Structure 1
Amino acid sequence: MSDHHSSQAYIDLNCDLGESFGAYSIGQDAKILPYVTSANIACGFHAGDPSVMRKTVQSALQAGAAIGAHPGLPDLVGFGRRNMAVSAEEVYAMTVYQIGALEALVRAEGGVLRHVKPHGALYNMAAKQTDLAEAIAEAVYRTNPALILFGLANSELTRAAERSGLVVAHEAFADRGYQADGSLMPRHLPGALIEDMDIAAKRVVQMVMERKISIGSGQHLQIHADTICLHGDGAKALAFAQRIVEACEQEGVVIRAFGQN
């Protein structure tokens, strides 16, 4: 019986990992991994380096998480969160390059690369700019058409991926505010980051069970969530992850990697 015909609700919990670089340690990867079903691993452009990538791949395999590439803009100083004037051709090439690097490390450890999720500014730019969305979708499809593309629900990126024939996981965020057009609220605005883990957990359950999310003043945004992003780099990241898993389990939601039975 397929998910659509059963009353059983499923959700994938993903987390961006491997975002340390050289001597700089970021995130709580080892502690968060037991709570997530998909691991998005930085590929060296916005964060990560070959050693960090390899260690993170090993940890994700040990934890049984599905592994994805997390390609970003070439901006270590800005952690890939600053918009850059990049062409569609550049985005295509940098995406293929980063997927290739991580895929080799995954294969060398005996694993299989399952998905791709762009990072930070690249993700947000591709959510709105059709040419960049198409460049990413083409890069993923031509690298390996069996890869799943994770993108912001209701965005140009998920639409481009569907047009290209890729399997798409529509992503929503546990701890981010949304705007009326379905885009994420810019981080500098009040309400962009949700600090209260009980509110975040309620939002996750609402997204999974009711396919909508509150955007304030009594308004709701229809949202289709296949996978929910948990951030691994905040002070309360671990408690957040635990609370969200607990809330899902209380509602009988099955937590599993997207695309796996």
Structure 2
Amino acid sequence: MCADKKISPGQESGAIGLEFHGALRPLLQGSLRMMPRLYHSLEHRTSIKDTIESFTIPHTEIGAISVNGKSVDFSYQPCPGDQIRIYPLVPPVDPCRPSFLRPKPLPRLRFLVDVNVARLRTYLRMIGMDTLYQPQWTDHELALLAAQRGCILLSRDRGLLRRKIIEHGHLIRSEDPIQQLAEIIAYYGLSGRLNPFSRCIKCNALLQPAAKEDLLPLLEPLTRKYYDTFFRCPGCDKIYWPGSHRDAMEKMVIEALSLSRILRK
């Protein structure tokens, strides 16, 4: 069913008008970013989701859609003359709370990372975020996993994020992994929820304290001499201790937090 409509000056009777707001405008292609309103001819009936994504903007970035002043969901089918305003999700985004476009919230924060942002999974695990990753997963498998396991899919692949089965996801803007981490911290408001060095950066399992005497045969001489606090991964048996590598990671976390505060402004 069509919403009440009004054709704007300069708009063809068989077209719709679209306005992309806020953080969505930079996602438009080329000169379209400079146009306050876009007109789109309706060649056949389709959903507003597909109409928006014809401009290469994944539905995962959309926070609200208004048609002729009325809120609609992704299933709405545009009619000639519709005036459509599309708004981005506004940080901090909380996928664990229901919204008009996403009435089924996630039970908890859990991320799924694809190969385009592979290094990001290490940094997310470093700050304690549950993050799934396997380089061999195909786009089809990633989409299914995101839906079945209740994950937020993180990618720079717009085509992947446009898959209908994906409800929660984010198109990563930056190419730098530390900036990507800062982007996620700011976007999902994670700064107060971090639990650094609580997960295995190799396999994602939660680390467990380990007695030094149980690990002695596995430790290098200098490690045995200078360190007494150890953790062990129950998933892959990797051993962790607060050495120089930990100091380097702490600096990365501090840098990411600082950048995230800048992004929030």
TM-score, normalised on structure 2? Answer: 0.26
Greater Cα radius of gyration, structure 1 or 2: 2
Q: Greater share of helix residues, 1 or 2?
A: 1
Q: Which has the higher contact order (CA 8 A, sep 6+)?
A: 1
